[in-house]
Protein backbone atom coordinates (compact mmCIF):
# COMPACT_ATOMS: atom_id res chain seq x y z
CA UNK A 1 0.00 0.00 0.00
CA UNK A 2 1.36 3.38 -0.99
CA UNK A 3 2.09 5.71 1.86
CA UNK A 4 -0.07 8.78 2.25
CA UNK A 5 1.39 12.20 1.83
CA UNK A 6 0.16 15.47 3.28
CA UNK A 7 1.27 18.90 2.12
CA UNK A 8 1.99 21.47 4.83
CA UNK A 9 2.57 25.10 3.93
CA UNK A 10 3.77 27.94 6.14
CA UNK A 11 2.51 31.18 4.63
CA UNK A 12 4.76 33.96 5.89
CA UNK A 13 4.89 37.67 5.27
CA UNK A 14 7.94 37.34 3.02
CA UNK A 15 8.17 33.67 2.01
CA UNK A 16 6.07 30.58 1.50
CA UNK A 17 7.58 27.32 2.76
CA UNK A 18 5.93 24.09 1.59
CA UNK A 19 6.68 20.53 2.68
CA UNK A 20 5.46 17.11 1.59
CA UNK A 21 5.25 15.02 4.76
CA UNK A 22 4.56 11.29 5.05
CA UNK A 23 2.63 9.39 7.74
CA UNK A 24 5.67 9.19 9.97
CA UNK A 25 6.34 12.91 9.82
CA UNK A 26 9.24 12.45 7.44
CA UNK A 27 9.75 15.38 5.07
CA UNK A 28 9.89 14.06 1.50
CA UNK A 29 10.20 17.34 -0.36
CA UNK A 30 10.61 21.03 0.37
CA UNK A 31 9.87 24.14 -1.66
CA UNK A 32 10.16 27.83 -0.86
CA UNK A 33 9.01 30.78 -2.92
CA UNK A 34 8.55 34.49 -2.18
CA UNK A 35 5.17 35.61 -0.87
CA UNK A 36 3.44 37.55 -3.66
CA UNK A 37 2.11 41.04 -3.13
CA UNK A 38 4.94 42.20 -0.95
CA UNK A 39 5.24 45.96 -0.66
CA UNK A 40 7.42 47.28 -3.49
CA UNK A 41 8.59 50.87 -3.64
CA UNK A 42 8.45 50.82 -7.44
CA UNK A 43 4.82 49.74 -7.75
CA UNK A 44 2.44 52.48 -8.75
CA UNK A 45 -0.65 51.09 -7.03
CA UNK A 46 0.26 52.12 -3.53
CA UNK A 47 3.23 49.89 -2.93
CA UNK A 48 1.86 46.43 -3.64
CA UNK A 49 3.03 44.35 -6.56
CA UNK A 50 0.41 42.21 -8.22
CA UNK A 51 1.50 38.92 -9.77
CA UNK A 52 -1.79 38.42 -11.63
CA UNK A 53 -5.20 37.13 -10.61
CA UNK A 54 -7.34 38.54 -7.86
CA UNK A 55 -5.87 36.32 -5.16
CA UNK A 56 -2.18 35.84 -5.96
CA UNK A 57 -1.44 34.41 -2.52
CA UNK A 58 -3.87 31.56 -3.07
CA UNK A 59 -2.53 31.02 -6.59
CA UNK A 60 0.95 30.59 -5.14
CA UNK A 61 -0.27 28.19 -2.43
CA UNK A 62 -1.93 26.10 -5.15
CA UNK A 63 1.21 26.14 -7.29
CA UNK A 64 3.38 25.07 -4.34
CA UNK A 65 0.99 22.22 -3.55
CA UNK A 66 0.97 21.00 -7.17
CA UNK A 67 4.73 21.18 -7.50
CA UNK A 68 5.29 19.24 -4.25
CA UNK A 69 2.74 16.66 -5.36
CA UNK A 70 4.53 16.25 -8.69
CA UNK A 71 7.89 15.97 -6.91
CA UNK A 72 6.84 13.14 -4.60
CA UNK A 73 4.67 11.57 -7.33
CA UNK A 74 2.20 10.15 -4.78
CA UNK A 75 -1.43 10.70 -3.93
CA UNK A 76 -1.86 13.70 -1.66
CA UNK A 77 -4.51 13.30 1.04
CA UNK A 78 -4.88 16.90 2.09
CA UNK A 79 -3.13 20.23 2.38
CA UNK A 80 -2.71 22.32 5.49
CA UNK A 81 -1.79 25.98 5.59
CA UNK A 82 -0.46 27.96 8.54
CA UNK A 83 -1.30 31.63 8.05
CA UNK A 84 -0.16 34.74 9.92
CA UNK A 85 -3.09 36.34 11.72
CA UNK A 86 -6.61 35.58 12.88
CA UNK A 87 -7.79 32.44 11.05
CA UNK A 88 -11.40 31.57 11.77
CA UNK A 89 -12.93 28.12 12.15
CA UNK A 90 -13.83 27.93 8.45
CA UNK A 91 -10.32 28.70 7.21
CA UNK A 92 -10.82 32.38 6.41
CA UNK A 93 -7.93 34.69 7.27
CA UNK A 94 -9.88 37.45 9.00
CA UNK A 95 -7.07 39.81 10.01
CA UNK A 96 -3.49 39.67 8.77
CA UNK A 97 -1.60 42.93 9.44
CA UNK A 98 1.66 41.37 8.24
CA UNK A 99 0.36 39.95 4.95
CA UNK A 100 -0.53 42.53 2.28
CA UNK A 101 -4.12 42.02 1.07
CA UNK A 102 -4.37 39.06 3.45
CA UNK A 103 -7.25 40.25 5.61
CA UNK A 104 -10.52 38.65 4.56
CA UNK A 105 -8.92 36.03 2.31
CA UNK A 106 -10.90 32.76 2.19
CA UNK A 107 -7.82 30.58 1.87
CA UNK A 108 -9.48 27.23 2.57
CA UNK A 109 -12.22 27.58 -0.03
CA UNK A 110 -10.02 29.25 -2.66
CA UNK A 111 -7.23 26.72 -2.38
CA UNK A 112 -9.52 23.71 -2.36
CA UNK A 113 -11.27 25.05 -5.48
CA UNK A 114 -7.96 25.46 -7.32
CA UNK A 115 -6.94 21.91 -6.35
CA UNK A 116 -10.03 20.08 -7.57
CA UNK A 117 -11.67 19.83 -4.18
CA UNK A 118 -8.64 18.60 -2.26
CA UNK A 119 -9.29 18.72 1.48
CA UNK A 120 -7.77 21.95 2.75
CA UNK A 121 -7.34 23.05 6.36
CA UNK A 122 -6.08 26.46 7.41
CA UNK A 123 -4.94 27.42 10.88
CA UNK A 124 -2.89 30.10 12.57
CA UNK A 125 0.84 29.73 11.87
CA UNK A 126 1.91 29.76 15.53
CA UNK A 127 -0.74 27.19 16.40
CA UNK A 128 0.65 24.98 13.61
CA UNK A 129 4.18 25.37 14.97
CA UNK A 130 2.88 24.42 18.41
CA UNK A 131 1.25 21.26 17.07
CA UNK A 132 4.54 20.31 15.41
CA UNK A 133 6.65 20.89 18.53
CA UNK A 134 4.06 18.92 20.52
CA UNK A 135 4.14 16.03 18.07
CA UNK A 136 7.85 15.82 17.25
CA UNK A 137 9.73 18.57 19.06
CA UNK A 138 10.31 20.13 22.45
CA UNK A 139 6.85 19.45 23.92
CA UNK A 140 6.49 15.75 23.14
CA UNK A 141 4.60 13.71 25.72
CA UNK A 142 2.91 16.41 27.80
CA UNK A 143 -0.78 17.24 28.04
CA UNK A 144 -0.29 20.93 28.80
CA UNK A 145 2.12 23.16 26.90
CA UNK A 146 2.46 26.71 25.68
CA UNK A 147 4.58 27.75 22.73
CA UNK A 148 5.61 31.31 21.93
CA UNK A 149 7.03 32.19 18.53
CA UNK A 150 9.42 35.11 18.75
CA UNK A 151 9.80 36.93 15.46
CA UNK A 152 9.07 40.53 14.55
CA UNK A 153 6.13 40.10 16.93
CA UNK A 154 5.05 37.29 19.25
CA UNK A 155 2.66 34.51 18.30
CA UNK A 156 1.49 31.66 20.44
CA UNK A 157 -0.14 28.28 20.68
CA UNK A 158 -1.69 26.45 23.61
CA UNK A 159 -2.19 22.78 24.39
CA UNK A 160 -4.44 22.16 27.41
CA UNK A 161 -5.46 18.79 28.77
CA UNK A 162 -4.25 17.06 25.61
CA UNK A 163 -6.18 19.33 23.27
CA UNK A 164 -5.04 22.17 21.06
CA UNK A 165 -6.84 25.32 22.23
CA UNK A 166 -8.45 27.15 19.30
CA UNK A 167 -11.01 29.29 21.09
CA UNK A 168 -14.56 30.12 20.11
CA UNK A 169 -13.63 31.57 16.71
CA UNK A 170 -10.23 29.97 16.14
CA UNK A 171 -8.38 33.07 17.38
CA UNK A 172 -6.72 31.73 20.56
CA UNK A 173 -3.02 32.36 21.10
CA UNK A 174 -2.82 36.07 20.15
CA UNK A 175 -0.54 36.55 23.12
CA UNK A 176 1.81 39.15 21.64
CA UNK A 177 -0.71 41.88 22.34
CA UNK A 178 -1.30 41.04 25.98
CA UNK A 179 -0.53 44.31 27.77
CA UNK A 180 2.27 43.99 30.31
CA UNK A 181 2.88 47.71 30.89
CA UNK A 182 -0.05 50.07 30.23
CA UNK A 183 2.23 53.12 30.26
CA UNK A 184 4.83 51.43 28.07
CA UNK A 185 5.83 52.18 24.48
CA UNK A 186 3.06 52.56 21.91
CA UNK A 187 2.24 49.53 19.74
CA UNK A 188 1.07 49.70 16.10
CA UNK A 189 -2.12 47.99 17.33
CA UNK A 190 -3.09 51.22 19.09
CA UNK A 191 -2.39 50.16 22.67
CA UNK A 192 0.64 50.74 24.88
CA UNK A 193 2.99 48.20 26.40
CA UNK A 194 1.99 45.06 24.50
CA UNK A 195 4.24 42.11 25.33
CA UNK A 196 5.74 42.10 21.84
CA UNK A 197 7.01 45.67 22.35
CA UNK A 198 9.52 44.06 24.76
CA UNK A 199 10.15 40.38 24.07
CA UNK A 200 10.19 40.10 20.26
CA UNK A 201 12.66 40.96 17.52
CA UNK A 202 11.26 44.47 17.19
CA UNK A 203 11.21 44.71 20.98
CA UNK A 204 14.90 43.83 21.09
CA UNK A 205 15.69 46.57 18.58
CA UNK A 206 13.74 49.08 20.66
CA UNK A 207 15.42 48.07 23.94
CA UNK A 208 18.81 48.20 22.21
CA UNK A 209 18.33 51.68 20.74
CA UNK A 210 17.18 52.89 24.16
CA UNK A 211 20.40 51.51 25.71
CA UNK A 212 22.49 52.86 22.82
CA UNK A 213 21.13 56.38 23.27
CA UNK A 214 22.01 56.12 26.95
CA UNK A 215 25.59 55.26 25.99
CA UNK A 216 25.45 51.70 27.30
CA UNK A 217 26.11 49.89 24.01
CA UNK A 218 29.33 51.20 22.43
CA UNK A 219 30.30 47.82 20.89
CA UNK A 220 26.85 47.39 19.37
CA UNK A 221 26.74 50.97 18.08
CA UNK A 222 30.11 50.38 16.36
CA UNK A 223 28.66 47.30 14.67
CA UNK A 224 25.72 49.40 13.50
CA UNK A 225 28.03 51.94 11.86
CA UNK A 226 28.24 54.46 14.69
CA UNK A 227 24.65 55.70 14.87
CA UNK A 228 22.55 54.59 17.87
CA UNK A 229 19.41 54.94 15.73
CA UNK A 230 20.76 52.34 13.28
CA UNK A 231 21.03 49.66 15.95
CA UNK A 232 18.99 46.53 15.17
CA UNK A 233 18.40 43.32 17.09
CA UNK A 234 20.87 41.51 14.83
CA UNK A 235 23.71 43.76 16.00
CA UNK A 236 22.92 42.89 19.61
CA UNK A 237 22.95 39.19 18.81
CA UNK A 238 26.32 39.41 17.09
CA UNK A 239 27.88 41.39 19.94
CA UNK A 240 26.33 39.18 22.63
CA UNK A 241 27.59 36.06 20.90
CA UNK A 242 31.08 37.59 21.08
CA UNK A 243 30.57 38.15 24.81
CA UNK A 244 29.99 41.93 24.87
CA UNK A 245 28.62 42.73 28.36
CA UNK A 246 26.43 45.61 27.15
CA UNK A 247 24.75 43.46 24.52
CA UNK A 248 24.27 40.65 27.02
CA UNK A 249 22.67 43.13 29.44
CA UNK A 250 20.14 44.20 26.80
CA UNK A 251 19.40 40.55 26.03
CA UNK A 252 18.92 40.00 29.76
CA UNK A 253 16.36 42.79 29.74
CA UNK A 254 14.53 41.13 26.84
CA UNK A 255 14.79 37.84 28.74
CA UNK A 256 13.16 39.38 31.82
CA UNK A 257 10.20 40.61 29.78
CA UNK A 258 9.95 37.23 28.09
CA UNK A 259 9.89 35.58 31.53
CA UNK A 260 7.22 38.01 32.71
CA UNK A 261 4.84 37.10 29.90
CA UNK A 262 5.64 33.41 30.22
CA UNK A 263 4.91 33.47 33.96
CA UNK A 264 1.60 35.25 33.30
CA UNK A 265 0.64 32.50 30.87
CA UNK A 266 1.86 29.80 33.26
CA UNK A 267 -0.38 31.20 36.02
CA UNK A 268 -3.39 30.98 33.73
CA UNK A 269 -2.63 27.64 32.09
CA UNK A 270 -0.24 25.67 34.33
CA UNK A 271 1.72 24.05 31.49
CA UNK A 272 4.36 21.39 32.08
CA UNK A 273 6.46 22.79 29.24
CA UNK A 274 6.85 26.22 27.67
CA UNK A 275 8.62 26.35 24.31
CA UNK A 276 10.10 29.42 22.66
CA UNK A 277 10.67 29.32 18.94
CA UNK A 278 10.70 31.58 15.91
CA UNK A 279 13.50 33.60 14.38
CA UNK A 280 14.74 34.82 17.76
CA UNK A 281 15.29 31.37 19.26
CA UNK A 282 19.08 31.42 18.90
CA UNK A 283 19.34 34.92 20.36
CA UNK A 284 17.19 34.08 23.37
CA UNK A 285 19.17 30.88 23.93
CA UNK A 286 22.14 33.12 24.80
CA UNK A 287 20.28 34.19 27.96
CA UNK A 288 18.29 31.01 28.51
CA UNK A 289 19.37 30.65 32.15
CA UNK A 290 18.42 34.23 32.92
CA UNK A 291 14.97 33.66 31.45
CA UNK A 292 14.47 30.58 33.59
CA UNK A 293 15.68 32.29 36.77
CA UNK A 294 13.43 35.31 36.20
CA UNK A 295 10.50 33.03 35.40
CA UNK A 296 10.92 31.16 38.68
CA UNK A 297 11.09 34.46 40.59
CA UNK A 298 7.94 35.75 38.91
CA UNK A 299 5.80 32.61 39.20
CA UNK A 300 3.50 33.01 42.22
CA UNK A 301 3.58 29.98 44.52
CA UNK A 302 6.72 28.65 42.82
CA UNK A 303 7.90 26.59 45.86
CA UNK A 304 4.62 24.67 45.76
CA UNK A 305 4.75 23.83 42.07
CA UNK A 306 6.75 21.33 40.09
CA UNK A 307 9.29 22.93 37.78
CA UNK A 308 7.93 24.28 34.52
CA UNK A 309 10.38 23.27 31.80
CA UNK A 310 11.28 26.18 29.51
CA UNK A 311 12.79 24.87 26.30
CA UNK A 312 14.01 26.14 22.95
CA UNK A 313 12.02 24.87 19.99
CA UNK A 314 13.58 21.95 18.12
CA UNK A 315 12.09 22.02 14.63
CA UNK A 316 13.45 25.34 13.44
CA UNK A 317 11.82 27.21 10.60
CA UNK A 318 10.05 24.07 9.38
CA UNK A 319 7.81 23.86 12.47
CA UNK A 320 4.92 25.83 10.97
CA UNK A 321 4.76 23.77 7.77
CA UNK A 322 5.12 20.45 9.59
CA UNK A 323 2.35 21.47 11.98
CA UNK A 324 0.13 22.58 9.10
CA UNK A 325 0.50 19.10 7.60
CA UNK A 326 -0.33 17.51 10.96
CA UNK A 327 -3.42 19.64 11.41
CA UNK A 328 -4.58 18.78 7.89
CA UNK A 329 -3.93 15.09 8.41
CA UNK A 330 -5.80 14.90 11.70
CA UNK A 331 -8.99 15.75 9.88
CA UNK A 332 -10.41 17.93 12.61
CA UNK A 333 -9.22 21.37 13.54
CA UNK A 334 -10.44 20.84 17.08
CA UNK A 335 -8.57 17.77 18.07
CA UNK A 336 -5.17 16.66 16.89
CA UNK A 337 -4.09 13.30 18.24
CA UNK A 338 -0.37 12.96 18.03
CA UNK A 339 1.94 10.31 19.41
Among 156, 233, 277, 278, binds a second copy (CB under 8 A): 156
Contact characters 229-268, a second copy, x per CB under 8 A: -------------------------------x--xxx-xx
User: Which is nearest to 200 in space by CA: 250, 150, 155?
Assistant: 150
* Of 117 and 190, CB closest to a second copy: 190
Q: Quote the least distance from Cβ 300 to a second copy, whole Å.
A: 4
Q: Angle at the Cα of 109 (from 150 to 131), degrees rounded to 5?
A: 35
Helices (H) and strands (E) in the chain, counts: 10, 13
What is the distance between the alpha carbons of residues 262 and 191, in angstroms, rounded to a whole number?
20
Assess 337 for contact with a second copy (CB under 8 A).
no
What is the distance between the alpha carbons of residues 114 and 329, in angstroms, rounded to a whole number?
19
What is the distance between the alpha carbons of residues 147 and 126, in angstroms, rounded to a whole number?
8
Pairing between strand 273-277 and 145-150?
Answer: parallel
With beta carbons less than 8 A apart as the criterion, state whether 317 and 73 touch. Answer: no
What is the distance between the alpha carbons of residues 223 and 242, in angstroms, rounded to a whole number?
12
What is the distance between the alpha carbons of residues 233 and 198, in angstroms, rounded to a whole number?
12
Assess 46 for contact with a second copy (CB under 8 A).
no
Angle between helices 201-213 and 245-269 (to 10 degrees): 140
Assess 167 for contact with a second copy (CB under 8 A).
yes
Stretch of residues binding a second copy (CB under 8 A), selected from 33-41, 180-188, 202-210, 279-287: 180-188
Q: Which helix (H) or strand (E) holds 327?
A: helix 319-330
Q: Quote the least distance from Cβ 266 to a second copy, whole Å.
A: 9
With beta carbons less than 8 A apart as the criterion, state whether 198 and 191 touch. Answer: no
Among 94, 119, 216, 288, binds a second copy (CB under 8 A): 94
* Of 221 and 251, CB closest to a second copy: 251
CA 284 to chain centre: 15
Among 72, 272, 312, 338, binds a second copy (CB under 8 A): 272
Stretch of residues binding a second copy (CB under 8 A), selected from 68-76, 172-180, 206-214, 279-287: 172-180
Assess 191 for contact with a second copy (CB under 8 A).
yes
Among 110, 173, 320, 323, binds a second copy (CB under 8 A): 173
Assess 332 for contact with a second copy (CB under 8 A).
no
Q: Quote the least distance from Cβ 7 to a second copy, whole Å.
A: 26
Assess 175 for contact with a second copy (CB under 8 A).
yes
For a second copy, the binding residues (CB under 8 A) are 86, 94-95, 103, 142-144, 156, 158, 160-161, 163-175, 177-183, 189-191, 194, 260, 263-265, 267-272, 298, 300-301, 303-306, 334-335
Amino acid sequence: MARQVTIGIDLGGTKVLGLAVDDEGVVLAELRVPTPGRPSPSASDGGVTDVGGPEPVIDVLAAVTRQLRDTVDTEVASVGVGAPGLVDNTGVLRFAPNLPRGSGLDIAAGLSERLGGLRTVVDNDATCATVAEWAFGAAVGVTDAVMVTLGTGIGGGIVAGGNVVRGASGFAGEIGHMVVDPTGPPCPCGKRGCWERFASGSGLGRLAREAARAGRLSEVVNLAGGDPESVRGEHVTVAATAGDPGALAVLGELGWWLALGLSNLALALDPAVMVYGGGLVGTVSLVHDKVHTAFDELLEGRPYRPEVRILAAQLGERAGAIGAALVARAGDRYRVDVA
